[in-house]
Amino acid sequence: MIGLAVGLWLSIAGCSDPVSEVVGESAALDLSAFEMVDLSHTYDQDTLYWPTSTERFEHAELAYGESDGGYFYSSYSFSSPEHGGTHMDAPIHFAEGGTTLDRLPLSQLVVPGVVVDVRDAAAQDPDYRLQLVDLQAWEAQHGAVPAGSAVLLLTGWDRRWPDTLRYLGDDSPGDASSLHFPAFGEAAARFLVEERSVGLLGVDTASIDYGPSTDFMVHQIVNGAGVAALENLTGLDRLPPTGAWLIALPMKIGGGSGGPVRAIALLP
Task: Give me the number of domains the chain comprises.
Answer: 1
With respect to residue 112, please indicate whether it lies within any of the assigned structural domains.
yes
Q: How confident is the model over 92-128, as pLDDT tens digits? A: 999 999 999 999 999 999 999 999 999 999 999 999 9
pLDDT band at 18 (very low <50, low <70, confident <90, very high): very low
With respect to residue 150, please indicate whether it lies within any of the assigned structural domains.
yes
CATH of the domain at 24: 3.50.30.50
With respect to residue 133, please indicate whether it lies within any of the assigned structural domains.
yes
Active site residue 93: yes
Sign of CA dihedral 223, 226, 231, 234: negative
Q: How confident is the model over 182-228, as pLDDT tens digits? A: 999 999 999 999 999 999 999 999 999 999 999 999 999 999 999 99
Q: How confident is the model over 46-83, as pLDDT tens digits? A: 999 999 999 999 999 999 999 999 999 999 999 999 99
Do the Cβ atoms of 193 and 227 come closer than 8 Å? yes
Q: CB under 8 Å, gap of 24 or more: what pairs does 251-256 form?
A: 251/101, 252/101, 252/102, 253/82, 253/100, 253/101, 253/102, 254/100, 254/102, 255/100, 255/101, 255/102, 256/82, 256/90, 256/100, 256/101, 256/102
Alpha-carbon distances, residue 218 vs 72, 157, 187 (angstroms): 49, 19, 9
* Chain centroid offset of residue 153 CA: 10
Closest-CA residue to 116 (of 99, 90, 96, 136):
136
What average pLDDT score do residues 167-179 get? 97
Q: Note the pTM of the prediction, 2 decimals.
A: 0.89
162 prior amide bond cis, ω within 30: yes
Q: What is the pLDDT of residue 24?
A: 45
Q: Which of 59, 93, 180, 219 is catalytic?
A: 93
With respect to residue 70, please indicate whether it lies within any of the assigned structural domains.
no
The domain in which residue 174 lies consists of 2-53+82-267
With respect to residue 72, please indicate whether it lies within any of the assigned structural domains.
no
With respect to residue 192, please indicate whether it lies within any of the assigned structural domains.
yes
The DSSP bridge pattern shows strands 110-117 and 244-250 to be: antiparallel
